Structures are given as C-alpha cells and as structure tokens.
Chains A and B, each alone.
Chain A
Amino acid sequence: DGGITQSPKYLFRKEGQNVTLSCEQNLNHDAMYWYRQDPGQGLRLIYYSQIVNDFQKGDIAEGYSVSREKKESFPLTVTSAQKNPTAFYLCASSIAGMDNQPQHFGDGTRLSIL
C-alpha cells in the first residue's frame, strides 16, 4: 500500500540537542511538507519542497532545518535553536504544481523535552 511513514512515533529531546524526524513516502509525489501542530492552533507550515534538492521556508522555519536529497525522503531536524519544540509534527506529500490535489499525511511524531 502506498503511503507516508513517519518515525519515530514518540521522541524525546534533551536541552541543547538536535533531533531528526524521519518522513518517507512511496506515493511518487514530488511535493512534501512539514507541519507543526499545537493544541488549539491548527497546523502551521515549517518547510516544504516541490522538487528534489529544493525547499522553501514556511511560516515558522526558525529553529528547524530540512534536506531533500531523494524524492521519497524529507527529514526534519529540530535544532537546539528551537526553544519550544514540544509539539506534534506531521509530514505530508502531494502531486506538485496543482492546487486541486489533496495532501496525504503520515501519522505524526510527538516530540517532548526531557
């Protein structure tokens, strides 16, 4: 079955530590997205990528970094510069270049601070 796999499901970060969240898709989608979800705030876009080796900042990119070396993979690093990283992180993918195609979501990674 095609879909998006996020790992790990739960992640704990120590102060001053960088952590990387994995996102893999086998839907053959060009576009991939990372969102942060906090209670009562909906989803906020962190980074997105329309094609391999290219990505753009979303609305809350500070303290995060991404790479897009392969079409299937779009890992997100939460750096020590992100002072409030506790949240639910969602990865999504879609067909690029079209506004009428839905995004497909993974099951998320919940990040907490130790």
Chain B
Amino acid sequence: GNSVTQMEGPVTLSEEAFLTINCTYTATGYPSLFWYVQYPGEGLQLLLKATKADDKGSNKGFEATYRKETTSFHLEKGSVQVSDSAVYFCALSGDRGSTLGRLYFGRGTQLTVWP
C-alpha cells in the first residue's frame, strides 16, 4: 500500500541555519510527491512538488528531489527565516484505480525558527 514516513519533530533552529526534514515513502507504482506547509490556524498550502524520479521541486528557497532508489523526498532550505515557522507535511499521490489522485500524508513536522 501507499504510506509516508516523516521525520518527527519538533525541529527548532536559529535564523539562517540549514534545514532538512526527512521523508520516505512506500508506494505501488510511480506516485507524484508533494510538500505542503500549514501556518497556525490555517489550511495547507502547496510548497513544492515532483512528478517523476530525479525531478527537483523548488519554491521560496525550499528544495526536494524525488529519489526513487532510496524512496525519499527530503525537504531542504539553505537559510531559514522566522517566517518559515510552520508545520510541514510530506505527501504522495496514488496513481491508479480508486487511489488515483488521493493524497497520503505523513504526520507532519513542526518547525520553529528563533531570531
């Protein structure tokens, strides 16, 4: 079946530190992979996506590369800001039958950045 395992938080960093949030997945077929971000009291916003192996998604300084050989999609940012404090979710999309388009989410990682 499809599932996502995400690095447990919380993660606490100082401003300008390097960020990595690990995400690995199990899937049948060739899913698309997503990172979403959730700010307090809000819904989820798409941060970036990758739809095939070796694709790199990027947005707002965040990057993640679809690694089929290691079934991973780790999120990275070279220099975090206080405004990056949020919960980050890794997700994969089912690619066939009744699962087509369904998203399977990790548990989320809380990031707090201190000035």
Contacts and interface: CB of A to CB of B under 8 A. Distances in A.
Contact of B43 (A45, A98, A99, A106): A106
A60 to B, nearest CB: 13
Given A90-B44, A108-B42, A97 B100 contact: yes
Interface in A76-106: 90, 92, 94-106
Contact of B95 (A50, A99, A105): A99
A16 interface: no
Contacts, number: 64
Contact of A41 (B101, B102, B107): B107
Given A43-B89, A56-B98, A90-B44, A103 B107 contact: no
Given A99-B32, A108-B42, 13 more contacts: A33-B102, A33-B103, A40-B107, A42-B108, A43-B44, A43-B103, A50-B101, A90-B44, A102-B49, A103-B44, A105-B36, A107-B41, A107-B43
Interface of B: 6, 31-32, 34, 36, 41-46, 49, 51, 89, 93-95, 98, 100-103, 105-108
